[in-house]
Amino acid sequence: MNKIQANILKNATLLFAIVGIMALLVQWIAAPDYKAENEAVLSTIANDDQKILPLQLHEMITTNQLANYTLVDLRSSHLFNVGTLSGAINIPFADLLKKGSLKQMKKHGNSVLLFSDDESQAVAAAVLLISKGFDDVKTLANDYDYIKKNVLETFDPASAFSKSEKARFDYNRFFRTGGGADGAPVRTQPKIIQTEIVKTQGGC
Amino acid sequence: MGPLIPQGFVNADLNLFFAFIIGLGFGYVLEQAGFSSSRKLAGVFYSYDFVVLRVFFTAAITAMTGLLFFGYLGWIDWDLLYINPTYLWSAIIGGAIMGFGFILGGFCPGTSLTAAVIGKIDAMVFIGGMFIGIFIFGEFYNAFQSIYTGAFLGNVFVYDTLGISRDGFAMLLIVVALAAFIITQRIEDKVNKTPDLEKKARPSYWIPSAVLIAGGLLLLLLPSQPRSGWHEVSPDKILTTMSNQHHLTGIDEVAYSLINGKDRPVMLVDVRSAEDYARFALPGAVNIPLHQILDHRYENILRSPDQKVVLYSNSNTLATEAWMVATRAGIENLTLLDGGLNGFVQTIFQEEHITDSYNLNVEHQGRFREKARNYFLSGKAVPKTESVGTPVIKLIEIEKPVQGGC
């Protein structure tokens, strides 16, 4: 190999290295501050065992298991002062990711129990904390007022497995098809999904 | 065109075009390396010219390092890469036949084409021989079949068999390659009896070697996947959006869209399980269960540019989980139905509607909801866009091949 080709090789490898380093720098700088991959967070929440149903909460209270968790009330400070779960700290939802808040929540290691006056807000907080590296995050199913009435005051067995995602109606009754009064379920017309099979192949 | 087509960067119809361009590039590189000369090619067997080894080893470690970095940065999805399956007997016997032919003829399949194209007659004869071999194989396939498909080990990776990590193997291969370059150079010099003056005039390759070794070390140090991608949305932005409730779509808006489909089209995505979806779904909704929300196949649906995409479930909870994961992945302008199906039925069908009020807004809302209630109950909830034909969503599914090779 002569001088010119050697120079081309040298310049090409340097260029390769520079592009690689710049890509890594962009990745390092532009990447937001998460401690867990999105896919990992998804499989954690898809398992659905973070939600503590009223029956489980009742058991946890009677066996004093709640002491193992940092209890976090996500409601406003006003509501918190009116009444909350005993031993809970108040971190309004909007302040969840502040440094001080995260520090407060680490009291019991990575074990946090969240609740709010909106079940979906507690779940949202849980997703954020899981992606920030907390690996033992639980939420209370249902909103605080429901829990107060059916678990904290006196346990109502009828509420044992209640949660927001339970279907409260037979939806088909309301979206009828032609005629109206016969109550037949509507055959919904989803868009047609065509799957195009792309074969990956190798070669040499 | 490997991973680029399934990920939607490149139109699938351009597949052959890219194959053509890459083929041109490959032929050019082979020719530039001098591989259309059978003397240069056969040199690797007689130890006087190891250019074949050097070129292919360099190509292999460059491609390997590049692929591993691209995979780390998320530019390539390894699941979409084709891996040659391992058939032991085919590999050993076929390799021996090819090596024998290489020494005799001085070409291998690819290089024979580049040489034939520039007019070398021995290369053309070589190609003729290749076709005879292919013909014999095809005609007498039944005799060969058991050997050809024998000892199938699956898509094994050499680092798995050796029991070391993938990045460890990459580093090992780089070191072995560099050692091979040095050793073969020494052998070449001995065989060709290169004068010392010429040896001294050779340029030093320490820069490329250093870059490769640094690359290998970096691969060893980096985790296999970064914990967050540069294209992802920060947690603070998600928190702010949710605190301001900008991620919610109201029931009235969805009801309006179901009644007057063409006017303000909304793409409804049901994130519940397939069973729940089959039992009931809002008219025109598509089902993407929560655990599949990040699936590449559905990305185009969630990123619909000309429609508002609204996720829904029975309440806010499941839809919120789906919304958060999809939004973090970089999908913009996603919203969810505030109240879910429970809230929808409660608001439209169960509540008393105020159709007469001094507050015009309240009155309009009440009248609208009353109208919506009657509309759905009387069974008119079929999307008006039906008249323009049911829209078709194309998903691209990658079928992993069972056999392959060259």
Contacts of A74 in chain B (CB under 8 A): none
Query: Across the interface, do B211 and A97 touch by the CB < 8 Å criterion?
Result: no
A4 with A94, same domain: the answer is no
Query: Across the interface, do A42 and B390 touch by the CB < 8 Å criterion?
Result: no
Q: Give Cα B146 to chain centroid, integer Å.
A: 34
Closest C-alpha to A142, from A172, A119, A126: A119
Q: Tokens 């006196």 map to which residue?
A: A154
- Please check whether residue A151 is in contact with residue A145, taking contact to mean a CB–CB distance below 8 angstroms: no
Q: How many domains is chain A partitioned into structurally?
A: 2
Is A149 within a domain? yes
d(CA B83, CA B158): 12
Secondary structure (3-state) at B318: helix
Q: Per-residue pLDDT tens for B358-406? A: 888 888 888 889 888 888 888 776 544 343 444 566 666 655 555 444 4
CA atoms within 13 A of residue A19's CA, in its CB half-sphere: 9
Contacts of B239 in chain A (CB under 8 A): 93-94, 96-97, 128
Is A89 within a domain? yes
A82 with A113, same domain: the answer is yes
Shortest Cα distance from A15 to chain B (angstroms)? 10
**Helix (H), strand (E) at residue B68:** helix B51-73
Closest residue in B to A31 (Cα–Cα): B230
Domain of A142 in residue numbering reads as: 38-159
Is A22 within a domain? yes
Query: Mutual orientation of helices B251-259 and B360-377 as an angle, nearest 10°?
Result: 50
Query: Across the interface, do B279 and A172 touch by the CB < 8 Å criterion?
Result: yes
Q: Which residues of B166-190 are buried (b: 16+ CB within 10 A; e: fewer)?
A: bbebbbebbeebbeebeebbeebee
A145 with A86, same domain: the answer is yes
What pLDDT is stored for residue B264 in this prediction? 67
Phi, psi of A145 (to 5 degrees): -60, -40
d(CA B402, CA B285): 35
What pLDDT is stored for residue A182 in this prediction? 39
Task: Kindly write down the DSSP assignment for every residue of B193-254, as one continuous string.
Answer: T--HHHHHTSPP-HHHHHHHHHHHHHHHHS-SS-SS-TTSPPHHHHHHHHHTTTTEE-HHHH
Shortest Cα distance from B288 to chain A (angstroms)? 12
**Over chain A (204 residues), what is each successive 10-residue block's mean pLDDT?**
78 86 84 87 87 90 88 93 90 92 83 92 94 90 90 85 88 69 43 60 49
Contacts of A47 in chain B (CB under 8 A): none
**pLDDT tens, position by position, for chain B (406 residues)?**
455 655 556 666 777 888 899 889 988 888 888 888 888 888 888 888 898 899 889 889 988 988 888 888 877 777 777 788 888 888 999 899 988 988 888 888 888 988 998 899 999 999 999 999 999 999 998 888 888 888 888 888 888 888 888 888 999 999 999 999 999 999 988 888 888 888 877 777 888 888 889 888 988 888 777 777 777 889 999 999 999 999 999 999 898 888 887 766 789 999 999 999 999 998 889 999 999 998 878 888 888 877 889 999 999 999 999 999 999 988 888 999 999 999 999 998 888 888 888 888 888 888 889 888 888 888 776 544 343 444 566 666 655 555 444 4
Closest residue in B to A32 (Cα–Cα): B234
Show contacts of B400-405: CB within 8 Å, 24+ apart: B400/A200, B401/A199, B401/A200, B401/A201, B401/A202, B401/B82, B402/B85, B403/B85, B404/A201, B404/A202, B404/B82, B404/B84, B404/B85, B405/A202, B405/A204, B405/B84, B405/B85, B405/B87, B405/B90
Closest residue in A to B5 (Cα–Cα): A198
d(CA A64, CA A60): 6
A81 with A147, same domain: the answer is yes
Query: Across the interface, do B208 and A196 touch by the CB < 8 Å criterion?
Result: no
Query: Mutual orientation of helices B166-192 and B206-221 as an angle, nearest 10°?
Result: 160
A48 with A24, same domain: the answer is no
Shortest Cα distance from A135 to chain B (angstroms)? 15
Query: Across the interface, do A188 and B406 touch by the CB < 8 Å criterion?
Result: no
Closest residue in A to B2 (Cα–Cα): A200
Closest residue in A to B289 (Cα–Cα): A46
Nearest to A127 among B202, B324, B345 (CB): B324
Q: Is the reported ipTM for this assembly greater than 0.90? A: no
- Please check whether residue B106 is in contact with residue B120, taking contact to mean a CB–CB distance below 8 angstroms: no
Is A116 within a domain? yes
Nearest to A97 among B236, B393, B401 (CB): B236
CA atoms within 13 A of residue A201's CA, in its CB half-sphere: 11
Query: Across the interface, do A174 and B203 touch by the CB < 8 Å criterion?
Result: no
A88 with A8, same domain: the answer is no
A7 with A94, same domain: the answer is no
Q: Give Cα B85 to chain centroid, integer Å.
A: 19
Secondary structure (3-state) at A109: coil
Query: Across the interface, do B282 and A196 touch by the CB < 8 Å criterion?
Result: no
Nearest to B294 among A24, A42, A194 (CB): A42
Q: Per-residue pLDDT tens for B56-83? A: 898 899 889 888 888 888 777 777 777 8
A14 with A90, same domain: the answer is no
Strands B152-154 and B86-87: antiparallel
Query: Across the interface, do B243 and A13 touch by the CB < 8 Å criterion?
Result: no
A58 with A150, same domain: the answer is yes
For B235-377, give the CATH class.
Answer: alpha beta
Closest C-alpha to B281, from A164, A46, A187: A187
What pLDDT is stored for residue B47 in this prediction? 85
d(CA B196, CA B127): 41
Q: Take residue A83 and report the two structure tokens written for it.
A: 């009444």
- Please check whether residue B333 is in contact with residue B246, taking contact to mean a CB–CB distance below 8 angstroms: no
Shortest Cα distance from A54 to chain B (angstroms)? 16
Query: Mutual orientation of helices A38-46 and A119-131 as an angle, nearest 10°?
Result: 140
Query: Across the interface, do A199 and B284 touch by the CB < 8 Å criterion?
Result: no
d(CA B54, CA B52): 5
Intervals of CATH 3.40.250.10 along chain B: 235-377
A104 with A20, same domain: the answer is no
A96 with A1, same domain: the answer is no
Contacts of B294 in chain A (CB under 8 A): 38-39, 42
CATH code of the domain containing A116: 3.40.250.10
A69 with A16, same domain: the answer is no
